[in-house]
Amino acid sequence: MFESAEIGRCIDKDTYDAEAPALREALLEAQYELQQQGRFAVLILINGIEGAGKGETVKLLNEWMDPRLIQVNTFDQQTDEELARPSAWRYWRQLPPKGRIGVFFGNWYSQMLQGRVHKRIKNAVLDQAIDTTLGMERMLCDEGTLIFKFWFHLSKQHMKARLKALQDDPLHSWRISPLDWQQSKTYDKFVRVGERILRRTSRDYAPWYVVEGVDEYYRSLTVGRILLDGLQAALKAKSRPLPHPHAAPLTSSLGEHGLLDSLDMNQALDKDTYTEQLISEQARLSSLMRDKRMRRHSLIAVFEGNDAAGKGGAIRRVIGALDPRQYRIVPVAAPTEEERAQPYLWRFWRHIPARGKFTVFDRSWYGRVLVERVEGFCAPGDWLRAYGEINDFEEQLSEAGVVLVKFWLSIDQQTQLERFKAREQIPFKRFKITEDDWRNREKWPLYRDAVGDMVDRTSTEIAPWTLVEANDKRFARIKVLRTINEALETAFGKD
Amino acid sequence: MFESAEIGRCIDKDTYDAEAPALREALLEAQYELQQQGRFAVLILINGIEGAGKGETVKLLNEWMDPRLIQVNTFDQQTDEELARPSAWRYWRQLPPKGRIGVFFGNWYSQMLQGRVHKRIKNAVLDQAIDTTLGMERMLCDEGTLIFKFWFHLSKQHMKARLKALQDDPLHSWRISPLDWQQSKTYDKFVRVGERILRRTSRDYAPWYVVEGVDEYYRSLTVGRILLDGLQAALKAKSRPLPHPHAAPLTSSLGEHGLLDSLDMNQALDKDTYTEQLISEQARLSSLMRDKRMRRHSLIAVFEGNDAAGKGGAIRRVIGALDPRQYRIVPVAAPTEEERAQPYLWRFWRHIPARGKFTVFDRSWYGRVLVERVEGFCAPGDWLRAYGEINDFEEQLSEAGVVLVKFWLSIDQQTQLERFKAREQIPFKRFKITEDDWRNREKWPLYRDAVGDMVDRTSTEIAPWTLVEANDKRFARIKVLRTINEALETAFGKD
């Protein structure tokens, strides 16, 4: 969930200087339109890692927009008046009225995060708090509030550097925090709990936006653009509740440097190393599948990737040393008539393996947020809510002991072109290349955005995405096999 | 929540024989239309008290409709195949496809109910299961499934009689149940857990219908009509997700004998008894309010009722012996401009008392499901979701130690007429009677239905409704005071 906010995204000063004035003007205009319409309120929740620029961003928004129409609230220690009433009272009394923007710093999410990190509450109680929160946010949306939830993120390394810089700066060194962020353990716990909360509370009507905070220019432009897009969509919408004003986050399309671009595509293996490692990883998998601890688990491997990225070849290597009675490959194409008559996830539920078994999905439920999104096969409302539904689905798998590994096989455009051409030359491969493939190629940027959003929203602790650099097929196959083996060993180790 | 399903509702055979054939034909027709459209599936969940006619009703539906298009599933012991997979798998594999009706007997609710009653799980884990369930049902609705949730109910007394009758019947005595229903404790626990589940899972997109099961004719017609109304609304709707096909339950309008009609309106107090009891109950309240245990609680009393039912007089008696610094009366009329710019519940949240204090709401947040519903001041979608929002709200109050008592002051039409006329005669009371009052009177049946639905859906263990027979003002005032006093003593007793 935080992968694409740990790659050091930045924007240079020139780009920022070129874009900021127009963005600022548009935001100001949207703000006045919001006031004039008076149809809905805007609530901005600010959370995330210490030092990731939460305060600076709020300060900037106040500078950019008309501060008379923004109210910033910090919820630290409860006052006597607040302590004497139900805990939600302090938030209700500060809600922005229609036509205004409210910024909630240290909101309900901070409370539950701190509570869980400090072990004052257990997961079940955390989930109850999450449940209450979802009810509250749903109600606010139904009543005409547009909610933006920002998680400002930093990798551990970036956080440490940032804290050090702040400490050395006399203007900032006075700042304290209830958590001891100097401790590496604190960061880990905070991120783990944060991930659980984001996974369960990112809903189509109020999704989370994860923003990497290391670079001020990137951070500011990203937040500004997300706000502007959401505001403009909601201002245009005529109905209530506001119909999905939230597009997917812009992070992947902002700047040329997305998550996929951060991969080192030159990684490769020579033939001898490959052969040697292939044999040993296959043997390892075969042995793990026969391990008696496998009786408590099942294994699911999801393969997605660019066309011609080598999914088929990788799958063949994975099942190469396995007993065919243990695994099953499910190729996912257009749904059958029977499948179309059922809820979307039904056609995947029917292939969930029993304990001890292994199912390979050659393409998967992620089709909804990839091809269906890009090709417009389903309405935006459908794919927007799919992220949450998929996270719920995978959580149910995980709780039942299913080990779930998800691969995105990534190649660059040049490599794809070469493989397409090669396929057209080789008679027995010609069936593998169609008009569709050439057409999809033209939508490369759309797919890149969709993949970025997919990983941002569905790569979770319980079911992380593995991005596989697949320009070199040998490297990709070994990485896939090794990832599966490690996932199984980790699961066995936890038993 | 179960009040109106414990009053012994019944329908005579003649009425049943007159209505059943037309209902049956209409259901059959709707069923074929459902198949022809193939746009959505129907899922019927059957839960409730042992012996309340769950099985008989399902059997009847199969007789009435085309059984080829209905699939009934019972989920008892998990099979080997099911045990080897995530627990939701067994439900997914049995989901009805679009165009069909599926009946789930012993569904996800039965599992969590049994688990909690047998103390295999705690409330926090129950709430996690509820959360998962809500996610599942929401997803099903978004994907085009129409969900009906029926809770078949019996009062404890009726259940015992019914079990005895079944036991004596050789055709039924073989039936067993995992719970020992002969025990009175089992009933209490089951109903308590059931209420928590219904309270948290009755949502506008999939509300619960509580059906009293004591009389076969009543039960059958009620279920049939609810299904028919929901089906017809959904068949007419063109959009997806289905736009609130669920009207409020018909239970109150079915038959002339509703919850309010079951009150004994002849109850009265003579003047001496009244004076004596008034003094003693007022003294009791005054003393309770000064009790040091009151520091951990606050008190909210909600007054709703027919026009001229005597709310004002009752409120005056309640606060008669109290220190004005301890209480506050909030009269609720049309919202102010500031209040209209906020979510609906905001104007009530702002008046939530601090610990140790007492707030009287003269009319309340229930306006949304009473006057706003009846007069069409808000859209059906808004008041339908309000039941769930209000339950969430009151749960937050209760968890913060607020003691919440809710009164519906009920008078009959004749008494109201006399009071209206009297008001017109007495100069200083003339301001209390307006054209509106006469107009509202014409909507008596609509208000009766709205009150029935309100009590069915929002009378909960943590915040029960008290129906007050108010034809006699003295009787009503004493009942109100005594109820408040008992609620405080119960709360203090639990500390």
User: Inter-chain contact A355–B397, Cβ cutoff 8 Å?
Assistant: no
* Angle at which helices B108-117 and B123-142 cross, to 10°: 170
Task: Report how far apart, in Å, the C-alpha atoms of B439 and of each of B304, B374, B375, B435, B488 are.
Answer: 18, 12, 11, 6, 38
Q: Which of A99, A139, A341 sits opposite B99 (nearest CB)?
A: A341
How many Cα neighbours within 13 Å face the side chain of B204? 21
Higher pLDDT, B182 or B131: B131
**Contact state of B139 with A38 under an 8 Å Cβ cutoff:** no
The label of the residue with tokens 């029993």 reads A354
Give me the number of domains chain A comprises: 2
pLDDT at A51: 84
- Name which of A89, A346, A399 is nearest B95 (Cβ-Cβ): A346
C-alpha B120/C-alpha B393 separation (Å) is 28
Weakest mean pLDDT among A463-467, B98-102, B157-161, B314-318: B157-161
* pLDDT at residue A432 is higher than 80: no
pLDDT at residue B67, as a whole number: 82
Q: Is the pLDDT of residue A176 over 70?
A: no
Q: Do residues B282 and B192 both lie within one domain?
A: no
Chain B residues in contact with A81 by the CB 8 A cut-off are 354
- For residues B460 and B315, membership in a common domain is answered with yes
Among B144-148, B234-238, B485-489, the range scoring the smallest mean pLDDT is B234-238
Cα dihedral B172, B174, B180, B184 in deg (nearest 10): 30
Task: Quote the crossing angle between the two packed helices A108-117 and A184-201, to the nearest 10°.
Answer: 130
Q: Give the pLDDT confidence score for residue B252 in this predicted structure.
A: 45
**What is the spatial distance between Cα B444 and Cα B253, in angstroms, rounded to a whole number?**
12
pLDDT band at A480 (very low <50, low <70, confident <90, very high): very high
The pLDDT, as a whole number, for residue A252 is 45
Taking 90 as the threshold, does the pLDDT of residue B182 lie above it?
A: no
B298 and B234 part of one domain = no
Could you tell me the pLDDT band of residue A1, with boundaries at 50, 70 and 90?
Answer: confident
Residues of chain A neighbouring B356 (CB-CB closer than 8 A): 84
pLDDT-derived band of residue A380, with 50, 70 and 90 as boundaries? Answer: confident
Quote the pLDDT of residue B152: 94
Task: State the angle between helix axes of B123-142 and A123-142 in degrees (0 to 180), rounded to the nearest 10.
Answer: 40
Q: Look up residue B203 and give its DSSP letter.
A: B
Task: Collect all residues of chain A within an 8 Å Cβ-Cβ radius of residue B89.
Answer: 349, 352
Kindly report, residue by residue over A266-301, the tens digit of the pLDDT.
999 999 999 999 999 999 999 999 999 999 999 999
Same domain, A223 and A276: no
Q: Which residues contact A204 (CB under 8 A, 6 or more apart)?
A: A244, A246, A381, A384, A385, A387, A388
Domain that holds residue A74: 3-254
A164 or B361, which is more confident: B361
Tell me the β-bridge partners of A406.
Answer: A302, A465
Which residues from B are below 8 Å from A400, CB to CB? 85-87
Instruction: Determine, for residues A41 and B341 on separate chains, whether the beta-carbon distance falls below 8 Å.
Output: yes
Residue A489's CB is within 10 A of a number of other CB atoms, namely 15
How far B380 CA sits from the closest chain A CA (Å)? Answer: 13
| Mean pLDDT, all residues of chain B | 88
Instruction: Return the percentage of chain B with pLDDT > 90, whole number.
Output: 51
Within 29-48 of B, beta carbons closer than 8 Å to A belong to: 38, 41
Helical axes A380-399 vs A184-201, angle rounded to 10°: 120
- Residue B131 contacts residue B392 (beta carbons within 8 Å): no
Q: Tell me: do A140 and A232 sit in the same domain.
A: yes
- Cβ neighbors of B90 (< 8 A, separation 6 or more) are B75, B78, B79, B82
Q: Is the pLDDT of residue B434 over 90?
A: no
Mean pLDDT of A431-457: 85
CATH code assigned at A462 = 3.40.50.300
> Do B356 and B326 fall within a single domain?
yes
The strand ranges marked E within B306-370 are 327-331, 358-362
Question: For residue A305, is pLDDT > 50?
Answer: yes
| Mutation site, A36, A90, A142, A204, interface B, largest B CB count within 10 A | A142
Q: Would you state the structure tokens that stand for residue A185, as one six-digit string?
A: 């353990």
φ and ψ of A85, to 5 deg: -130, 170
Both B294 and B208 in one domain: the answer is: no
Strand partners for B46: B105, B150
* Residue A484 near residue A299, CB atoms below 8 Å: yes
Rounded average pLDDT over B325-343: 89
Say whether residue B337 is in contact with chain A using an 8 A CB cutoff. Answer: no
pLDDT band at B254 (very low <50, low <70, confident <90, very high): low
Query: What Å distances lie between residue A5 and A411, A456, A483, B393, CA to CA?
Result: 21, 8, 22, 36
Would you say residue B250 has pLDDT above 50? no
| Average pLDDT for A26-52 | 92
- Partners of A203 in the beta sheet? A206
Q: Per-residue confidence at A246, pLDDT binned at 50, 70, 90? A: low
- Of the candidates A348, A288, A351, A292, the residue with the CA atom closest to the CA atom of residue A323: A288
Give per-residue pLDDT as tens, A209-226. Answer: 999 998 999 999 999 999
Are residues B148 and B175 both part of a single domain?
yes
DSSP B430: G
Token digits for A183?
């401790």
CA distance B433 to B435: 7
Chain A: nearest CA to B154, how far in angstroms?
31
Q: Chain B partners of A346 at a C-beta cutoff of 8 Å?
A: 92, 95
The 10s digit of each residue's pLDDT in A385-424 is: 899 899 999 999 999 999 999 999 999 999 999 998 888 8
Sheet bearing A465-469, strands edge to edge: A327-331, A358-362, A298-305, A402-410, A465-469
Same domain for B360 and B481, yes or no, is yes
Question: Using omega within 30 degrees of 0 as the cis cutoff, is the peptide bond preceding A380 cis?
Answer: no
Q: Are residues B246 and B274 located together in one domain of the fold?
A: no
Distance CA B242, CA B62 (A): 25
**pLDDT for B325 beyond 70:** yes
pLDDT tens digits, B455-478 = 988 998 889 999 999 999 999 999
Closest CA to B488 of B267, B303, B295: B295
pLDDT for position B176 = 52
**Which of B127, B356, B399 is the closest to A131 by Cβ?**
B127
Task: Find where tokens 């706003």 sit.
Answer: B372
Which of B142, B299, B372, B387 is most worth mutating to test chain A (most A CB atoms within 10 A of its CB)?
A: B142
Asked if residue B245 has pLDDT above 60, the reply is: no
Rg, chain A, Cα only: 24
Interface of B with A in 279-318 (CB under 8 A): 298
Tell me how many degrees the CA angle B243-B246-B249 measures, rounded to the nearest 5: 160
| Partner residue facing A87 (CB), from B85, B140, B400 | B400
Among residues B232, B254, B276, the one where a domain terminates is B254
What b-and-e string marks burial along A302-320, b requiring 16 or more CB atoms within 10 Å of the CB?
Answer: bbbbbbbbbbebbbebbbe
Residue of B nearest to A397 (CA): B86
Find the mean pLDDT for residues A467-472.
96
Contact A489, A446 (CB under 8 A): no
Mark which of A228, A254, A280 sits at the end of a domain: A254
Q: Are A402 and A352 in contact (CB under 8 A)?
A: yes
Percent of chain B with pLDDT over 70: 93
Q: Are residues B333 and B459 in the same domain?
A: yes
Q: Is 60 exceeded by the pLDDT of residue B251? A: no
The two tokens of residue B337 are 């401009």
pLDDT class of A193 with cuts at 50, 70, 90: very high
Name the pLDDT band for B242 (thresholds 50, 70, 90).
low
Instruction: Give A-chain residues touching B41 at CB under 8 angstroms.
Output: 341-342
The rounded distance, in Å, linking the Cα atoms of B65 and B292 is 62
Q: What is the mean pLDDT of chain A?
A: 88
Could A385 and B131 be called an inter-chain contact, meaning their C-beta atoms sit closer than 8 Å?
no
Do B295 and B442 fall within a single domain? yes
Q: DSSP secondary structure string, A60-108?
A: HHHHHS-GGGEEEEE--SPPHHHHTS-TTHHHHTTPPPTT-EEEEES-H
Domain final residue, candidates B239, B254, B269: B254
Query: What percent of chain A is modeled with pLDDT above 70?
Result: 93
Q: Which of residues 47-66 of B touch A (CB under 8 A)?
A: none
- CB contact, 8 Å: B139 with chain A? yes
